[in-house]
Structure 1
Amino acid sequence: MALLLSLIAACSSAPSAEQTAQQEPQVQTVVVTAEIEPLIATVEVTSTPAPAAAEGATTEADTSAEVSTFGPDYTGPFSTPHPILSNLQVRRAIAHCTNRLELIESVYPYLEDGQKEGLLINTFLTSDHWAYPGDANITLYPFEPEQGNALLEEAGWTQEAPGEVRVNEAGEPLSLKFLSTDATFRQTWAAVLEQQLLQNCGIQIIRTHAPGSFVFGQSTGLNRRDFELAAFAWVGDADPKGSTLYSCDQIPLPVNNWEGQNYMGWCNEEASRAIIAANNALDREVRAEQYGIVQRAFTEDMVSLPLFNRLAVEAISNNVQGFRVDPTEYYFSNIEEWTLADGGEELVVAMTQEPDTLFTYVNASASAVNLSYPINTISATSYDYDFQAKDLTQLPTIENGSATLIEVEVQEGDIVWSLSAEAVELAPGVEIQNADGEIITYEGGPMLMSQLTVTFEYNEGITWEDGEPLKQADFELGYRIGCDPDLGRVSYAVCESYEDVEFLDDRSYTITYRPGALWSLYSVFTLPFFPSHQVLADGRNLADVPAVEWASLPEIAEQPLSTGPYRLVAWEKGQRIIYEANPNYYRGEPAIKRITVVFIPDANQAVAQLLTGNVDVIGNQDLSGPEVEQVLQAASNGDIQAFTVASPTWEHLDMNLFIR
């Protein structure tokens, strides 16, 4: 699991929802996470009218659809249509000629047919996501090589015999360069894709499997659009985001210093307006409607072919009960609900990766976040691509009255939130979003803008492990440290968008944002809190320590004070972390009294320990290789429990619509 949206209230060292939601993209060999900073846009973001349910819903949509880059008048580099991929019929043919179930079979041969079908994906969202519009409202591309061949014939690509490479009227071959990482997993399915396209439809791809440092490099591969076809993975979560992936002004080009992640060069004006509107709207229904428009255009234009979700597997002993499996939430999220069937009180978890710190402001890796769950208050969970209040009394929304959106008058000299995602003094030339949802360039005089206010309230009784109750000073400390520039966070955008923070009592506070700062995730953008009463080993009070020192404090990085169901009692680096039940946990002491997390770098060894009874739990973050088949076979034999789920990591094939 790459960076998923984890919603932890930052008691001790854990990140707030706002902090974890704004980590920079994590570049790995096989997974890229989408940049989620606010989109800088210069188009009108009022809601795009939703199409009729049946409109654009057939497999054969209008084949005359055109795609441009960076606006219709752009004439710089990458403004020349790709001689092959600029043709919509060719792109759709590639989709119809791809047997995605065969690709899944190549990397997951041990899955049953139903499990394989459960990994298929039709858009950039899974079919059970709240923003998925339904199959009837998008263009589907079933494996139909006959349809693919017909489209290629119409596009002028002919074939003398099945299995031969097609050519155009000039005798040029239908040949495309394919770029991806050198990961064995991707090389495996890419080899199958190569054969499929050639044998099914006469499309030749020439594969290059390069190191991740090239594919995801700052001046190579994807970021310089140095490809024709590119295969890699995005990671989805409860909030679709997507503005840097699918907006017209997020196409990496020399003229914008290669900013953005719209590597295809896709500029569909309707979709671009809708993706901006979706990310600037606060109402869930409005957002879903706008995301539906984007997905309709995304599938009609076929600029990126979603292939399949990766498989996620959790393995636990038959003795473990209450374990919750979910694609978008960490498996420690309900650890206080776990029990052992034999009434035992000790459990062992194996992990292959050990973080260097639990201070997730400086390390928000999956292992660090997961390990912080047992000792922290969880503001909200993110199960099933959605959000649920846990230690908050409710998720604050405009609908339930815990958040308000009002119109305020602003004028020159006032501090507002601009479209460049900055708090700026309003002056002529500044781009802002007015109260009507229009993005304009301010020219002077008074103007109405929207202002958001959100009140968070935590459950009663939350207590630190030493018996000290949570109090207002803890939130005040969290706000001061969490927004201190010396802390070293990746982004302070949300902090800078605050106009005011009012602490109401020991468990609630109100955030008032600057006019124009409309965060779609406002319901989960909580403040951190820390134990303001804690005295450190060196005699100082935690509240008196400068933010610049926090990351190196043992009491923050290695053994933070807990408000969660467990307290961390020992961390033997390179070996294990030991938790014990927190007697002061406000929901009651959990049934399992001692949890030991052992670090076993080799997943095969971890599985062996599970099968011999020395380990009780291995999470999906640590099961991704050949050992998965052994786990599933053992579960089939009744030796252990194993759970499979479509992970939020999805493989896809991007098509570059333009050449330099």
Structure 2
Amino acid sequence: MHYTKKWLTLVGVLTVLAFVLAACPAQPAGQTQIVEVTREVEKIVEKEVQVEVTKEVEKIVEVAVEDYTTPHPILSDIVVRQAIAQCINRDELIASVYPYVADDVKATLRMDTFIPKSHWAYSGPYTDYAYDPAAASAALEAAGWVDADGDGVREKDGNSLSLKFTTTTAQFRQTWAAVAEQNLKDCGIQIIRLHTPASWWFGDTTGLARRDFELGAFAWVGQTNPSGRTLYACNQIPLPSNNWEGQNGMGWCNEEASQAIVAANNTLDRAERIAAYDIVQKHFSADMVSLPLFQRAEAEAWSTNLLNFRADPTEYSSANAAEWELADGGDTMVIGFSQEPASMFSLLESAAVQRQVAQMSQGILTTQYSYDYQPVMQDGLSTLEAGLATNEMVEVKAGDMVYNVDGEPETLAAGTKIIVDGETIEYDGSSAVMLPQLIVTYKIKPFTWSDGTAASVGDMELSHKTDCDKTSGATEFITCEAMQGVEFGPDLQAVVTYLPGYQSPTYFISPIGVYPSHQVLSDGRNLADVPAVEWATLPEIAEKPLSAGPFMITNWVKGERIEMEVNPYYEPAPKVQKVIVVIIPDTNQAVAQLLAGDVDYLERATLGGGDAVQTVIDAAAEGKVNVEIIPSPTWEHIDMNLYTK
């Protein structure tokens, strides 16, 4: 270590000082030397200054968008929807599945709205969208849908004009869908066909029920009462938030059309219904949310020897069996069915073959020719206009039984939804409201059963008692539950008072038929005393019921034939004395028997819609048989989903 001179001098001074201090005398004991030390302390205060800094942060909150409430990027464009309609050649579709249908008949199969052209509620023609790919292409071009890259598919705003097309795996639909695919391709519209199992497409929680489609093809069945509220009203669009209630899978909400479809189903006046349906159909065709393609073709063939035969789209040809006549004077008529009924108990069995045999061997209250109603055994339609019904407003209050908006009986309470003045309201639980109440008188013409016993009012009482008995095996009691009360008599008459709010458009058709209350069974019991639960097993009901129709079953050889003879008490007496239904499962064999003269008539289900029809058409051209192509009530269509998931 290095020491400087200064450092050494300081050390020396300190040493001398130490000795001097040591030589000083000590202080007296007990005397405390107080040394006051004064310190100047510099207090340093650290002040924390907080500067408030405002930082703007953009917070993005994701709001869940409900499925099928976002407009579809393609199908929300009406130009595209109308172009799809114009690009599909419906005549070509018909020809692909019905090659035997002549051009003039194709026009009878085409539809321009959801109601067939021969229906009472059709007031068209409406916008038909004739096949015109050139016009469709021009409209697409003008709307900005162009094929810029030359790949054959149009684009706009980054979206290719490509759509998924969903339907079933049925060969029938695969055939016409292939034609539609090519038609659309010619217009620059690509469809991706998805043929799915019917169990998925029509499932309760899949396919159509969940609106899982862009373009969806299936069939509706037109009915005499067109209904349509669940299909086209704005409040019938199925969504997750309403538990997927409704059948308006397109998501179509045209307020004027919606109000009209509700009005059409809430009035009993035929003229008002026609006017309301006209409004709906005009908007339906103009908005093009669903493209009606064609009614299915059905064929019936019969011998040239059979007179007074009547083919109709909405009624079985057996309905006028009492008028049939054989030109050669013969007394026996032979009908070919592909299958036999499971039972003649009409309450439980509703197959077409059963209904046709029942019309001949049990009788008919009313027919449904050409999408309308005609009384047969019922003594006139029980309409308001005929003075057989009233529909007065009545006051209802909490606790009363009413018919709610869902078509079910319900005790009126807070929250009950009812229709008042055509509008759906939610009852407040306390106030009195006015609802319409139908009271209808139903009459049946006097007749005699096939055993010679005159019909009685007891027959109507037994019908009501049995048909409304929930042990009978029946599964539908809608009309029974809508009745507030029934009074029978005098004669063959019943007066039904319906629950307030029940407004069925078919109120004039008797819901009460007849059963032979006098009939004594083989075991000695009277039919009127037999519990409804046993009826399905009674031979007198399931196999050989007494008849009120033109014929009665006399012999049934299961799997082979059903023999019927004329009912001697039916008036006017039929010309044909005996009808035999033969079971011919094979269509080609059935046609061969018709051409050979062994069968007089093949009903539509037996003849089918396949190649055998062409054979019959060729034979008809030679004058050997008669054939008629009937526009079926069942019609094919393509729905367009206006919203995306």
* Fold equivalence (TM over 0.5): yes
Matches within 5 A, 1:90-105: 90-105=80-95
Matches within 5 A, 1:124-139: 124-135=114-125, 138-139=126-127
Q: Which residue of 2 aligns with 1:596?
A: 580
Q: Does 1:150 align with 2:138?
A: yes
Question: How many angstroms apart in 1 are the aligned matches of 2:228 and 2:191?
Answer: 28
Report the secondary structure of 2:109's partner residue.
coil
Q: Does 1:649 align with 2:639?
A: no
Bigger-Rg structure (1/2): 2
Distance 1:592-1:481 versus aligned 2 partners, 3 A rule: same
Distance 1:424-1:214 versus aligned 2 partners, 3 A rule: closer
Q: CA deviation at 1:362?
A: 2.0
Q: Which residue of 2 aligns with 1:195?
A: 182
Is the 8 Å Cα contact of residues 336 and 601 (structure 2) preserved in structure 1?
yes
Q: CA deviation at 1:579?
A: 0.8
Bigger Cα displacement from structure 2, 261-270 vs 329-338: 261-270
After superposition, give the CA deviation of every residue in 1:254-302 in whole Å (9 maximum; x if it has no partner): 3333333222222222222221211121000111111111111211211
Q: Which residue of 2 aligns with 1:629?
A: 614
Question: How many angstroms apart in 2 are the aligned matches of 1:321 and 1:329?
Answer: 18
- Residue type at the aligned position of 1:659: T
- Unpaired segments ≥5 residues, structure 2: 1-62
Q: Which residue of 2 aligns with 1:80?
A: 70
Q: Does 1:606 align with 2:593?
A: no
Question: How many angstroms apart in 2 are the aligned matches of 1:209 and 1:656?
Answer: 17
How many pairs does the alignment contain? Answer: 581
Q: Which residue of 2 aligns with 1:53?
A: none
Matches within 5 A, 1:510-529: 510-529=495-514
Q: CA deviation at 1:548?
A: 2.0
Question: How many angstroms apart in 2 are the aligned matches of 1:254 and 1:570?
Answer: 55
- Residue type at the aligned position of 2:377: D
Q: CA deviation at 1:497?
A: 1.1
Q: Does 1:544 align with 2:529?
A: yes
Question: How many angstroms apart in 2 are the aligned matches of 1:160 and 1:351?
Answer: 58
Matches within 5 A, 1:30-45: none
2:376 to 377, 382, 390: 390
Q: CA deviation at 1:376?
A: 2.4
- Residue type at the aligned position of 1:116: K
1:351 to 328, 337, 343: 337
Distance 1:351-1:161 versus aligned 2 partners, 3 A rule: farther
After superposition, give the CA deviation of every residue in 1:59-109 in whole Å (9 maximum; x if it has no partner): xxxxxxxxxxxxxx9952221222211221111110011111111122222
After superposition, give the CA deviation of every residue in 1:613-657 in whole Å (9 maximum; x if it has no partner): 111100122222111111111101111111122111111111122
Q: Which residue of 2 aligns with 1:12?
A: none
Q: Does 1:480 align with 2:429?
A: no
2:128 to 127, 140, 150: 140
1:248 to 218, 221, 234: 234
Distance 1:270-1:552 versus aligned 2 partners, 3 A rule: farther
Q: Which residue of 2 aligns with 1:64?
A: none
Question: How many angstroms apart in 1 are the aligned matches of 2:246 and 2:93?
Answer: 29
2:223 to 237, 259, 264: 237
Is the 8 Å Cα contact of residues 310 and 646 (structure 1) preserved in structure 2?
yes
Bigger Cα displacement from structure 2, 503-512 vs 266-275: 266-275
Question: How many angstroms apart in 1 are the aligned matches of 2:262 and 2:341?
Answer: 36
Q: Which residue of 1 aligns with 2:547?
A: 562
- Residue type at the aligned position of 1:599: I
1:530 to 515, 520, 525: 515
Question: How many angstroms apart in 1 are the aligned matches of 2:286 and 2:468?
Answer: 43
1:415 to 401, 418, 430: 401
Q: Which residue of 2 aligns with 1:32?
A: none
Q: CA deviation at 1:161?
A: 8.9
Question: How many angstroms apart in 2 are the aligned matches of 1:270 and 1:392?
Answer: 38
Is the 8 Å Cα contact of residues 163 and 198 (structure 1) preserved in structure 2?
no
Is the 8 Å Cα contact of residues 379 and 526 (structure 1) preserved in structure 2?
no
Q: Which residue of 2 aligns with 1:260?
A: 246
2:412 to 426, 429, 440: 426
Q: Which residue of 2 aligns with 1:468?
A: 453
Q: CA deviation at 1:374?
A: 0.5
TM-score by length of 1: 0.85
Q: CA deviation at 1:217?
A: 2.2
Question: How many angstroms apart in 2 are the aligned matches of 1:156 and 1:525?
Answer: 57
Question: How many angstroms apart in 1 are the aligned matches of 2:522 and 2:241?
Answer: 53
Question: How many angstroms apart in 1 are the aligned matches of 2:391 and 2:202?
Answer: 40
- Residue type at the aligned position of 2:490: D
- Residue type at the aligned position of 2:579: I
Question: How many angstroms apart in 2 are the aligned matches of 1:616 and 1:210?
Answer: 40
Q: CA deviation at 1:456?
A: 1.4
Question: How many angstroms apart in 2 are the aligned matches of 1:74 and 1:156?
Answer: 31
- Residue type at the aligned position of 2:516: P
Larger RCO, structures 1/2 (Cα 8 Å, 6+ apart):
1
Distance 1:430-1:159 versus aligned 2 partners, 3 A rule: same
Q: Which residue of 2 aligns with 1:174?
A: 161
- Residue type at the aligned position of 1:164: G
Q: CA deviation at 1:606?
A: 0.7
Q: Which residue of 1 aligns with 2:443?
A: 457
Distance 1:428-1:219 versus aligned 2 partners, 3 A rule: closer
Report the secondary structure of 2:284's partner residue.
helix
Question: How many angstroms apart in 1 are the aligned matches of 2:375 and 2:503?
Answer: 21
Q: CA deviation at 1:420?
A: 2.9
Is the 8 Å Cα contact of residues 254 and 283 (structure 2) preserved in structure 1?
yes
Distance 1:162-1:624 versus aligned 2 partners, 3 A rule: farther
1:615 to 586, 599, 622: 599
Q: Which residue of 2 aligns with 1:49?
A: none
Distance 1:487-1:260 versus aligned 2 partners, 3 A rule: farther
Q: CA deviation at 1:424?
A: 2.3
- Residue type at the aligned position of 1:85: L
Distance 1:438-1:263 versus aligned 2 partners, 3 A rule: closer
- Residue type at the aligned position of 2:578: R
Distance 1:162-1:233 versus aligned 2 partners, 3 A rule: farther
Bigger Cα displacement from structure 2, 262-271 vs 332-341: 262-271
Question: How many angstroms apart in 1 are the aligned matches of 2:548 and 2:173?
Answer: 42
Question: How many angstroms apart in 1 are the aligned matches of 2:190 and 2:543?
Answer: 53
Distance 1:150-1:588 versus aligned 2 partners, 3 A rule: same
- Residue type at the aligned position of 2:266: N
2:475 to 486, 490, 502: 490
Is the 8 Å Cα contact of residues 100 and 143 (structure 1) preserved in structure 2?
yes
1:288 to 260, 267, 274: 274
TM-score by length of 2: 0.87
1:108 to 88, 98, 103: 98
Bigger Cα displacement from structure 2, 613-622 vs 207-216: 207-216
